[in-house]
């Protein structure tokens, strides 16, 4: 039997580009928000259009002007629903909440969202165009996937299968 080569590992998102209806308004919002969250900023135009590139050691968020006659973002229309940023733990989510409130950014939370997972602790907010952001803790389920990645088999529900097998053998 021929053994398949493993797929190349994707390490995460490198960057996300957001189009904004009012570049200056959004630039002011993202300058304050992302500076408070420890990002750096580059502002190099591309193709003659202004761009701002905000980056930390792991990824980048860029903004650029939307096409004229664009409408406010609708999270439930086809396209991006929300962008979630992961913090190290609940205390970091709380610290970010304080920073957002100090910037007068309206937030929902932080609180536990048990409908998602028992330890899902997060807050939500929107940018000036209605693009929804989330900041959440690094929850146990994500840590477990990282830890047991090499043991997962198959495509559909491999973590559930592994946990059932572990319970049967007394390892989980």
SS3 letters across the chain: CCCCCCCCCCCCCCEEEEEECCHHHHHHHHHHHHHHCCCEEECCCECCECCEEEECCCCEEEEEECCCCCCCCCCCCCCCCEEEEECCCHHHHHHHHHHHHHCCCCCEEEEECCCCCCCCEEEEEECCCCCEEEEECCCHHHHHHHHHHHHCCCCCCHHHHHHHHHHHHCCC
Task: Give the torsion sign (CA, 20, 79, 14, 109).
Answer: positive
Q: What is the mean pLDDT of residues 50-55?
A: 94
Contact call for residues 64 and 46 (beta carbons, < 8 A): yes
The pLDDT assigned to 122 comes to 96
Angle at the Cα of 18 from the Cα atoms of 14 and 137, rounded to 5 degrees: 60
Contact call for residues 63 and 20 (beta carbons, < 8 A): yes
Q: Which CATH architecture has domain 15-138?
A: Roll (3.10)
Q: How far apart are CA 147 and CA 152, in angstroms?
A: 10
Q: Is the pLDDT of residue 172 over 70?
A: no
The pLDDT assigned to 171 comes to 72
pLDDT 10s digits, 91-115: 999 999 999 999 999 999 999 999 9
Residue with tokens 């807050």: 123
- Minimum mean pLDDT among 5-9, 56-60, 138-142, 167-171: which range? 5-9
C-beta neighbour count of 165 within 10 angstroms: 13
Angle at the Cα of 43 from the Cα atoms of 37 and 47, rounded to 5 degrees: 135
């Amino acid at each position: 039997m021929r053994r398949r080569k493993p797929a190349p590992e994707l390490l995460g998102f490198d960057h996300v580009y957001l189009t904004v209806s009012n570049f200056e308004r959004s630039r002011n919002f993202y300058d304050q928000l992302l500076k408070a969250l420890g990002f750096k900023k580059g502002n190099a135009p591309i193709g003659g259009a202004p761009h701002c590139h905000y980056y930390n050691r792991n990824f980048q968020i860029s903004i650029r002007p939307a096409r004229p006659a664009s409408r406010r973002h609708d999270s439930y229309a086809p396209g991006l629903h929300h962008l979630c940023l992961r913090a190290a733990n609940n205390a970091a989510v709380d610290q970010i909440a304080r920073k957002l409130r100090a910037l007068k950014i309206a937030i929902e939370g932080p609180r536990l969202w048990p409908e998602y997972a028992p330890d899902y602790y997060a807050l939500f907010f929107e940018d000036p165009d209605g693009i929804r952001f989330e900041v959440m803790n690094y929850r146990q389920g994500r840590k477990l996937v990282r830890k047991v990645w090499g043991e997962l088999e198959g495509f559909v529900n491999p973590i559930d299968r592994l946990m059932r097998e572990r319970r049967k053998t007394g390892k989980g």
